[in-house]
Structure 1
Amino acid sequence: MEEHRGFAELLRDIFGNPFRPIAFAPEWRTDTVRALAREMYESRDFGAMPILADALQDAGCDNDDILNHCRDPKGAHVRGCWVVDWVLEKG
């Protein structure tokens, strides 16, 4: 059962919630937001996700799904994370 839960968390990190599509505003992609996302993507260390949430919020992002995803202390993040991929325009 625990194995299935971990797999479900991984899928949520990559795809987000398919029943709640997110509209991203291009102005949220500031230099700081891009730099944080790029560093996490390249290093595969996603420990700065809460800092990314702060940077997105500073850029005007008020979407709870995005901010909560970045700040979730139990969230597992991997390359392919839907928020990081959106910032880096990989999706």
Structure 2
Amino acid sequence: MRDIFGNPFRPVAFSPSWRTSTAIAIASQMYESRDFSAMPILADALQDAGCDNANVLDHCRSPGPHVRGCWVVDLVLGKE
């Protein structure tokens, strides 16, 4: 459930500046292929874009499981 909804007690303020072309490309590929093995790479891309939010980065680097509807991927792709 946390992969889809995140932590309801710690909402994340996601900065639009973190939506770089690299982050969007990685998130799009994972979303379309349903292969979320690149989540740690997405964390690196978000960190390179200035993301310092521990909830976002830790979620991306966690072993998962990650599924379509992952709250971080959806935030990167601008899905609500």
Report the TM-score, using the length of structure 2 for normalisation: 0.98
Regions of 4+ moved over 3 Å? none
Following superposition, the deviation at residue 90 of structure 1 comes to: 1.0
Q: How much is the aligned-residue C-alpha RMSD, in angstroms?
A: 0.4
- Residue among 77, 87, 91 paired with 2:66: 77
Following superposition, the deviation at residue 42 of structure 1 comes to: 0.1
Higher-Rg member (1/2): 1
Report the TM-score, using the length of structure 1 for normalisation: 0.87
Corresponding residue for residue 26 of structure 1: 16
Identify unmatched segments of 5+ residues in structure 1.
1-10
Counterpart amino acid of 2:14? F
Q: How many residues align?
A: 80
Identify unmatched segments of 5+ residues in structure 2.
none
